[in-house]
Amino acid sequence: MDNNEKQLINKGRLQGFVVTFFVMLVIMLVMGGLMFFFMIGSGKFNASLFYGSPDESILDRHTEKKIETLQNIIEKNYLDEYNREDMQDGLYKGLFESLEDPYSVYYNEEEYSEMTADTEGVFEGIGAYLQQDPETKVVTVSRPIPDSPAEKAGIKTGDVIVEVDGEDVQGDDLNITVAKIRGKKGTQVNIGVRREGRDGVIRFDIIRDSVESMTVDSKMLDNSIGYIQIIEFDDVTSSQFLKAYNALKREEMRGLIIDLRDNPGGSVKTCVEIADELLPEGMIVYTEEKDGTKDEYTSSGDNFYDGPLVLIVNGNSASAAEILTGAVKDYKVGTILGTTTFGKGIVQRILPLGDGTGVKLTIASYFTPNGTNIHNVGIEPDEELELDVDAYLEDGTDNQLDRAVEIIEEKIK
């Protein structure tokens, strides 16, 4: 789970000539014949050449002249100091903003390095899981990691991140906000949040530390019913899931509840590995690109779990969480309980540009085993049940989990 995003000086003016420097860079990359890799969620794969010449270049003489004119206007008239590299970054970012796709983003060198860093499940930061609404760009704390600097400082689930070290981060891409929050162990960061029921911005001084990314929680409930919560699908999640799953099986669980509420997704590779432990032989998910190229991900069926199974989902269950949910629903091997999921049925690819920078670009749609694309639609549960928030806040009563237990007990009988 994906430092300072440099602010574009007089960004409003520069959006008008967003198209050019990036295209010049792309042309140079094409000439260099660079190779790339891609990620679906955060799973990395080798691939062939991606770069090619556009059918119709947006880099024409009129555009070049307009950029020169605008740059000259800024140079001769703009009151404050400005940075040439910041301006170029703004151009590149603006090109992707023009796609009006919240998932397609340009990353400068610092941002790209942070996003692609291999943390192996351990990172240095404050220890909080964040999620972002792709339409509003609001970044919310989905939960602080137990015993983390964030939890100790008082960061709470539902807090909206609005500032990092006094800098307004509202509207920034989630990966950029994460990059600003992360930092070396022992250093301090000031996080400003807005909290429901409180006026103004609440600010926390937090000392960063090494934090292990615990993405799975599990326990045995009454009547030998196993419970596994998957917080997100990181590279470390499949091993954490297997450890929890096998421990519950050794305790002879009679049914399994998988909690995917507020799970924003992540690595499809990891999701497929977990699905392979649960599903019968067959398709888990397939993706389809612009040119019709398809990639299929299947289950061997060797580890098919044939006991009572319930998945709990809500409107924040997205992406890889929906892949697992869609497969379970299509195969009718479990009950989907809760509310309609988020509806993110598209795939992004991470492309390095050879100079330390990179882009994230939407390149494919994904489909459930029955051929359903759930983008902007979501997955309807088999049984609709809203969380009783008042009861949960009052005494921790979780009516959705209680109902999941009832469903398992009915199936056991």
Task: For residue range 230-242, list pLDDT tens digits in order.
Answer: 999 988 899 999 9
For residues 45 and 269, give the distance between their C-alpha atoms in angstroms, rounded to a whole number. Answer: 10
CATH number for the domain formed by residue range(s) 122-212: 2.30.42.10
Residue 19's pLDDT is 34
Q: Which of 89, 102, 118, 126 is nearest to 4 (CA)?
A: 89
Name the pTM for this structure: 0.74
In the predicted model, what is the mean pLDDT of the chain? 85
Q: Which of 319, 329, 360, 400 is catalytic?
A: 319
DSSP alpha helix (H) spans, 80-215: 84-97, 109-115, 149-153, 174-181
Sketch the domain layout of the chain as residue ranges: 11-115, 122-212, 216-412
Taking residues 293-307, report their average pLDDT.
Answer: 96
What's the token pair of residue 348? 């992004």
Residue 275's pLDDT is 97
- Where is average pLDDT lowest: 33-42, 248-257, 286-295? 33-42
Residue 117's pLDDT is 62
Q: Does the annotation count 348 as an active-site position?
A: yes
Task: Using pLDDT thresholds of 50, 70 and 90, give the confidence band for residue 124.
Answer: confident
Q: Which of 73, 106, 101 is nearest to 88 (CA)?
A: 106
Residue 33's pLDDT is 32
Q: Does the annotation count 319 as an active-site position?
A: yes
Query: Contact, 240 vs 214, CB < 8 A?
Result: yes
Taking residues 16-21, report their average pLDDT.
Answer: 35
Q: Does the annotation count 344 as an active-site position?
A: yes
Residue 50's pLDDT is 56
CATH number for the domain formed by residue range(s) 216-412: 3.90.226.10
Q: Which of 93, 329, 344, 360 is catalytic?
A: 344
For residues 83 and 319, give the distance between their C-alpha atoms in angstroms, rounded to a whole number. Answer: 38
Residue, of 383 and 50, whose pLDDT is higher = 383
Percent of the chain with pLDDT over 90: 64
Q: Which of 104, 348, 360, 400 is catalytic?
A: 348
Give 194-216 pLDDT, tens digit per residue: 999 899 999 999 999 988 778 99
Taking residues 236-256, report their average pLDDT.
Answer: 96
- Where is average pLDDT lowest: 119-133, 248-262, 285-299? 119-133
Residue, of 110 and 201, whose pLDDT is higher = 201
Give 51-77 pLDDT, tens digit per residue: 566 777 777 889 889 989 999 999 999
Query: Contact, 124 vs 367, CB < 8 A?
Result: no
For residues 117 and 282, give the distance between their C-alpha atoms in angstroms, rounded to a whole number. Answer: 33
- Where is average pLDDT lowest: 182-186, 212-216, 336-340? 212-216
Taking residues 27-49, report their average pLDDT.
Answer: 32
Residue 41's pLDDT is 36
Kindly provide the residue ranges of all beta strands, DSSP E only, lying in 195-293, ordered along the sequence: 202-207, 209-212, 216-221, 225-230, 255-259, 282-289
* Secondary structure class of 43 (helix, strand, coil): strand
Whether the pLDDT of residue 28 is over 50: the answer is no
Task: Using pLDDT thresholds of 50, 70 and 90, give the confidence band for residue 123.
Answer: confident
Residue 60's pLDDT is 85
Task: Using pLDDT thresholds of 50, 70 and 90, give the confidence band for residue 247.
Answer: very high
Give 346-403 pLDDT, tens digit per residue: 998 889 999 999 999 999 999 999 999 999 999 999 999 999 999 988 898 999 999 9
Whether the pLDDT of residue 39 is over 80: the answer is no
What's the token pair of residue 108? 């400068």
For residues 275 and 309, give the distance between their C-alpha atoms in angstroms, rounded to a whole number. Answer: 13
Residue 156's pLDDT is 93
Residue 230's pLDDT is 97
